């Protein structure tokens, strides 16, 4: 990364200094470096420079630090559309995606110039926020749809695909939503593989597995996401046998699975109690991603599969070897030990869990249910346990 100390040699407020700061933001590696750079932006009069703050927000999004992104954005007196879009994107990646509309409504109130008008990216991010916020946010999504049509943005394949995703996300609550998604899909003059995969996921989300199978069979091309979506959808619908059949077909089609695919297949193995296939998948995971860190969720799926198949020693070995763990990891292992008669070990593990400082490893209500289950197996009272 370019040195912060080298800034002293640059002429204040100059275009060259602005370009230099932009390159430093581009090479930023940590939030500590970012805060130092942000201070330099402020000192050198660039705290309201849209292009620099946009780059700063990009790093905040990648780091998951939405609070800092919001603080930096609030300092800009006249943000342009690009910066507002970046802030909307930052918010929908957080815990309250519906708050994205605060920025959008402000844009509409202030948008008297071309520099602050919603564009295609604005609507793409907002539709994604609606989908993430869930079925209860469908009315806002429908209002957006109307504005997209009136603003002549509805010809974009990206916006159309996000409209399909938004309606599909509400399909579990309102049956007509999947019909609207289907209508948009049918009326699209051009479709890409993402459009097909989004519509496929919509059918599965609505619980219509037979239609999803017909749609899947009719797809002009299938990629890794298509197969994984179908396998996961079958597993979640309780059709684990079909999920494993699809996995076999995927391998015969020479489509290489990824870690997300393996998570879906392991879920089906756990449901069916297919330990032999589960072990084979574990071996494949070790071969495919040898030397590279597996997703925490993939290791969690391995633990869950071994627990469900009765191989508690294998589950504990996966748990022990994990470099990173989550609340789900600990809870699955505690519940597994308890249900297999290792109540004391489960309670010991819970005590270890409480010593962890990471927020991602704190006990939740499912953990406490697992602990109470362990107490019932050991005839120990919940009051005997140390609850932090």
pLDDT at 230 (0 to 100):
98
Q: Are 61 and 84 in contact (CB under 8 A)?
A: no
* This prediction's pTM: 0.83
Q: Which residue has the higher pLDDT, 359 or 68?
A: 68
pLDDT at 112 (0 to 100):
63
pLDDT at 388 (0 to 100):
58
Of the chain, the percentage scoring pLDDT greater than 70 comes to 91
Of the chain, the percentage scoring pLDDT greater than 90 comes to 56
Question: How deeply is 250 buried, as exposed, middle or buried, from its count of CB atoms within 10 A (0-12, 13-18, 19+)?
Answer: buried
Cα 216 to Cα 225: distance, rounded to the nearest angstrom: 12
pLDDT at 367 (0 to 100):
94
Q: Are 146 and 123 in contact (CB under 8 A)?
A: no
- Tell me which of 150-159, 280-289, 379-388 is least confident: 379-388
The 10s digit of each residue's pLDDT in 44-77 is 888 888 888 999 888 888 888 888 988 888 888 8
pLDDT at 306 (0 to 100):
97
The 10s digit of each residue's pLDDT in 206-248 is 989 999 999 999 999 999 999 999 999 999 999 999 999 999 9
Domain ranges in the chain?
Answer: 12-77, 325-381
Q: Which pair of structure tokens corresponds to residue 53? A: 């703050």
Torsion of CA 133, 222, 229, 89, to 10 degrees: -20
pLDDT at 379 (0 to 100):
65
Q: Are 118 and 107 in contact (CB under 8 A)?
A: yes
The 10s digit of each residue's pLDDT in 304-315 is 999 999 999 999
- Tell me which of 1-5, 112-116, 140-144 is least confident: 1-5
Please say whether the dihedral angle defined by the alpha carbons of residues 355, 359, 361 and 366, taken in this order, is positive or negative: positive
Q: Are 239 and 209 in contact (CB under 8 A)?
A: yes
What value does the mean pLDDT of the chain take?
Answer: 88
Rounded mean pLDDT, 7-30:
74
Residue 114 has pLDDT above 70, yes or no: no
The 10s digit of each residue's pLDDT in 94-110 is 778 888 899 999 888 88
Q: Which residue has the higher pLDDT, 9 or 338?
A: 338
Residue 13 has pLDDT above 60, yes or no: no
Residue 2 has pLDDT above 70, yes or no: no
């Amino acid at each position: 990364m370019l040195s912060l100390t080298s800034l002293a040699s640059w002429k204040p407020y100059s275009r060259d200094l602005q370009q230099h700061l932009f390159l430093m933001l581009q090479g930023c590696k940590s939030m500590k470096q970012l805060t130092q750079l942000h201070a330099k932006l402020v000192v050198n009069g660039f705290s309201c420079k849209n292009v620099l703050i946009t780059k700063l927000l990009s790093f905040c999004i990648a780091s998951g630090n939405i609070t800092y992104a919001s603080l930096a954005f609030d300092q800009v007196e006249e943000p342009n559309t690009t910066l507002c879009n970046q802030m909307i994107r930052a918010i929908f990646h957080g815990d309250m995606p519906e708050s994205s509309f605060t920025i959008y409504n402000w844009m509409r109130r202030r948008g008297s110039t071309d520099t602050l008008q919603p564009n295609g990216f604005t609507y793409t991010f907002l539709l994604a926020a609606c989908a993430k916020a869930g079925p209860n946010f469908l009315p806002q999504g429908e209002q957006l749809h109307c504005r997209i049509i009136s603003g002549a943005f509805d010809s974009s394949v990206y916006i159309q695909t996000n409209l399909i995703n938004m309606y599909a996300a509400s399909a579990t609550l309102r049956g007509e939503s999947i019909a609207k998604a289907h209508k948009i899909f049918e009326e699209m003059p051009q479709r890409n593989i993402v459009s097909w995969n989004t519509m496929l996921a919509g059918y599965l989300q609505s619980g219509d597995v037979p239609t999803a199978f017909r749609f899947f069979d009719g797809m002009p091309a299938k990629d890794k996401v298509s197969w994984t979506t179908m396998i996961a959808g079958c597993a979640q619908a309780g059709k684990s046998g079909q999920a494993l059949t699809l996995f076999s077909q995927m391998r015969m089609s020479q489509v290489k699975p990824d870690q997300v695919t393996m998570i879906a297949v392991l879920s089906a193995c756990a449901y069916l109690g297919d330990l032999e296939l589960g072990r084979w998948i574990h071996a494949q995971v070790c071969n495919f991603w040898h030397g590279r860190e597996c997703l925490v969720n993939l290791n969690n799926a391995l633990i869950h599969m071994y627990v469900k198949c009765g191989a508690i020693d294998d589950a504990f070995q996966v748990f022990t070897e994990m470099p990173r763990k989550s609340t789900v990891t600990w809870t699955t292992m505690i519940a597994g030990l308890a249900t297999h008669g290792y109540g004391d070990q489960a309670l010991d593990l819970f005590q270890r869990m409480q010593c962890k400082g990471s927020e991602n490893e704190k006990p939740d209500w499912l953990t406490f249910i697992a602990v109470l289950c362990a107490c019932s197996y050991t005839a120990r009272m919940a009051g005997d346990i140390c609850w932090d």
